[in-house]
Chain A
Amino acid sequence: MSLIDRHVGFVRALREAGIPVSVAEGLDAAHALRVIELSERESLRAAYAATLVKKPAYRPGFDVLFDLWFPASTSGMHAERAERPIDLETAPVPELRDHLARLLTGGGDQELREFAQAMVGRFGHQPAATPGRQNWFSYSVMRALSPETLMARILQNVLQGQERGGLAERNARRTVYDNTRRFEEAVATDVRRRIAEDSGIERIARSAVRPPLDQIDFLRITKADLARLRREVHPLARRLATRLTIKQRKGRRGRLDFRRTVRASLQSGGVPLTTHFRPPRPHKPELVVLCDTSDSVSSFAHFTLLLTYALREQFTKVRAFGFVDTVDEITRFFVPGADVVEALTRLTTEADMVRFGRTNYGHSLERFAERYGDAVGPRTSLLILGDARSNYQPPALDVLRSLVGRSRHAYWLNPEPVAQWDTGDSVASEYGAVVPMHECRNVAQLTAFIETLA
């Protein structure tokens, strides 16, 4: 494959994986290729990243594709190896595990990658159904070496009689954990490279790249994604808070400061050239969040609770309410500085949100208006999060209408795709007629929603 074909194929693969690369950016990358040393692989990777990837969420996908299109080495073409204490081709497994343990406590990146490649070569292949072909797997490498079980031994070596449970152990655990992840990643990369050599890059590329974090559906989110999402949500909450504040401030410059204006005019012979204003009084937005915490939206609920938690730290006054078929105030679980995981666990055990266990929007709204109606006032923004699926119970539209009427703004975020609204027991458009409803299935859409608030 010539360099230009490789470049074009790579850019096309990025686009297919959901990473937007404009024509101008593709050209920039091509220009960059002319000025950097192509044999320096990390430099090449950095050049492509600088010109094509303009959002951190796209980086993992980019790295997977880069490793496929510009592999570190190809099978059968090994560079001269550095001196190594053991022979990776023949050494028995316990020795390999010892070597891995050393690498995990502080080996170089290069060494770790080479070791991963050698291990994939030794343990990663299994004969395929069609004779003459091989399948490559990460899990057989992991099963042979099981790096997870090395932790106890490594800790013993590193700590060497120091007290357990302290700072030193914590630090060592962190290092080993990080390096184990790196090792797993290196193995997976090499497995993908070998598959690509056997069956073509394009085929493996399509299945290897997961959608970027901001396009993952809230309803289909995995545990690992959630942990990463937590980091994304904080800046978003901050942004949402500033948006709602700015909206109040626009168009109000504050009152004219007459004295200052006159005093300043003395410099220009009594002509008031510059006008001075009193600073506007900062508006303190209040937020009431009502979120559906039922099982049908549990991943979404998890996310909304994270959002609530993050908002809690940004707004001066946030009250959060959770509901399934009855409603309870959950603000108390989110005291500033509290542990979010702890809060979520306590929330599920202590809060009183469930009567019969089937989502009932109508009843929840009625109870909300009855018990906490005074939470919503002319200074409040009301944010409702849920899929509007009410198990065919009466929706209590009037109650919602009066709540919305009393609030300053109201928004509804729905985690379902628009196409599924109004199917089955969804009453999305009925609620949507009262409160503007936005589809919010992923971080990208949430970001877009926050942008529209401006």
Chain B
Amino acid sequence: MFDSPAEVAERLAAVDYLSDDAISTSVFLAAALGKPLLVEGPAGVGKTQLAKAVALATGAELIRLQCYEGLDEARALYEWNYKKQLLRIQATSADDDIFSEEFLLERPLLKAIRAPGPTVLLIDETDKADVEVEGLLLELLSDFQITIPELGTIAATRRPYVVLTSNATRELSEALKRRCLYLHLEYPTPERERDIVLSQVPGIRADLAERLARTVATLRALELKKAPSVAETVDWANTLLALGRDDLDEATVAGTLGVVLKHASDQARAVKELGLPDVADR
């Protein structure tokens, strides 16, 4: 897929994803070694976005499995089309085989395994799923195959590029981690965030983007309930642009704080710590 980490960085940048050494090397290694990539980190640092960018950069199809509590085999792997099977039994003689391809409903994992073209399989928020789902993933992640009791083992015709994301609300099992390459994404440095803003928000002035990135870094250093995500920084930049502000002074920050801080207590805190004018006064 890629020749070197540098090429990864270049091609990701071409689809507006700015990477750093750690990101480009991990993405490159996952492709070169044929291993799944587990991306962990706080919400809103661009984990899901990374998978999308890889798909876009390589022209692969993106198949997404969103994990949640209670996700089971039937929704992750495959399901039998009971209604069709029942109709078949009623319509024909009973000894017809009703466990064949025809009655199989593909779910994301099976779809990714059987896809003929290049595929990026995104298993999103793996930590939200129950522990049993991890067990389900193990066979897929180490051997790229899925066993269906009635049909046998289906091996991947072409290995999908697998990205798992996690917010680390739950520790994933050792067995799962051992099979994956691991990338811990943190909030970007102010310099990188400035570049992200510049690439995502055309028309913004460089010094404003710089000040924005520094201010967001300061906000993140406060102990907030929910630190601003990269997407929110970009939103903020867009907001300022829409308002026609070209300077980020205290009053502007106070007036638009709601774009980046979504808890009343966080806002109160920022107002106090940064010495902003109280919004209510204005």
Chain A residues 160-197 with CB under 8 Å of chain B are: 165-167, 170-171, 174-175
Q: Check A337/B225 contact, CB under 8 A, given A53-B182, A170-B218, A171-B218.
A: yes
Q: Once the chains bind, are A46 and B26 in contact (CB under 8 Å)?
A: yes
Chain B residues, Cβ within 8 Å of A25: 178
When chains A and B are docked, how far (Å) is the Cα of A291 from the Cα of B201? Answer: 50
Query: A242 to nearest B CB, angstroms?
Result: 8
Instruction: Tell me the nearest residue of chain A to B128, going by C-beta.
Output: A242
Interface size on B, residues (CB 8 A): 54
Chain B residues, Cβ within 8 Å of A22: 178
Q: Check A267/B169 contact, CB under 8 A, given A36-B29, A167-B249, A167-B276.
A: no
Instruction: Tell me the nearest residue of chain A to B211, going by C-beta.
Output: A171
When chains A and B are docked, how far (Å) is the Cα of A397 from the Cα of B133? Answer: 43
Size bracket of the A interface: 35 or more
Query: B116 to nearest A CB, angstroms?
Result: 26
Q: Check A339/B275 contact, CB under 8 A, given A35-B29, A59-B184, A230-B223.
A: no
Q: Once the chains bind, are A54 and B177 in contact (CB under 8 Å)?
A: yes
Q: Which one of A268-276, A320-328, A399-407 contacts B?
A: A268-276
Q: Once the chains bind, are B169 and A238 in contact (CB under 8 Å)?
A: yes
When chains A and B are docked, how far (Å) is the Cα of A64 from the Cα of B17? Answer: 30
Query: Could you mark each residue 255-266 of chain B with 1 if its beta carbon is under 8 Å from any beta carbon of chain A, else 0?
Result: 000000001111
Query: B240 to nearest A CB, angstroms?
Result: 14
Query: B276 to nearest A CB, angstroms?
Result: 7
Q: Once the chains bind, are A36 and B28 in contact (CB under 8 Å)?
A: yes
Chain B residues, Cβ within 8 Å of A45: 21
Q: Once the chains bind, are A167 and B275 in contact (CB under 8 Å)?
A: yes
Q: Once the chains bind, are B26 and A166 in contact (CB under 8 Å)?
A: no
Instruction: Tell me the nearest residue of chain A to B186, going by C-beta.
Output: A56
The answer to whether B238 has its CB under 8 Å from any CB of chain A is no
Q: CB within 8 A of B86: which of A268, A338, A339, A451?
A: A268
The answer to whether A140 has its CB under 8 Å from any CB of chain B is no
Chain B residues 163-214 with CB under 8 Å of chain A are: 168-171, 177-178, 180-184, 190, 211, 214
Q: Once the chains bind, are B25 and A167 in contact (CB under 8 Å)?
A: no
When chains A and B are docked, how far (Å) is the Cα of A22 from the Cα of B276? Answer: 51
Chain A residues, Cβ within 8 Å of B178: 22, 24-25, 54
Q: Once the chains bind, are B4 and A37 in contact (CB under 8 Å)?
A: yes
The answer to whether A134 has its CB under 8 Å from any CB of chain B is no
Q: Once the chains bind, are B265 and A171 in contact (CB under 8 Å)?
A: no
Q: Once the chains bind, are B275 and A165 in contact (CB under 8 Å)?
A: yes
Chain B residues 14-30 with CB under 8 Å of chain A are: 21-22, 24-26, 28-29
Chain B residues, Cβ within 8 Å of A59: 184
Q: CB within 8 A of B5: which of A31, A36, A166?
A: A36
The answer to whether A336 has its CB under 8 Å from any CB of chain B is yes
Between A and B, 14 residue pairs with Cβ closer than 8 Å are A32-B33, A36-B4, A40-B5, A46-B5, A47-B29, A50-B29, A54-B180, A56-B40, A165-B275, A166-B275, A167-B253, A170-B275, A171-B218, A273-B86
Chain A residues in the interface with B (C-beta under 8 A) = 22, 24-25, 28, 31-32, 35-37, 40, 42-43, 45-47, 49-51, 53-54, 56, 59, 165-167, 170-171, 174-175, 230, 235, 238-239, 242, 267-269, 271, 273-274, 313, 336-340, 447, 451, 454
7 nearest interchain CB pairs? A337-B265, A46-B25, A42-B21, A171-B214, A54-B177, A46-B22, A35-B32
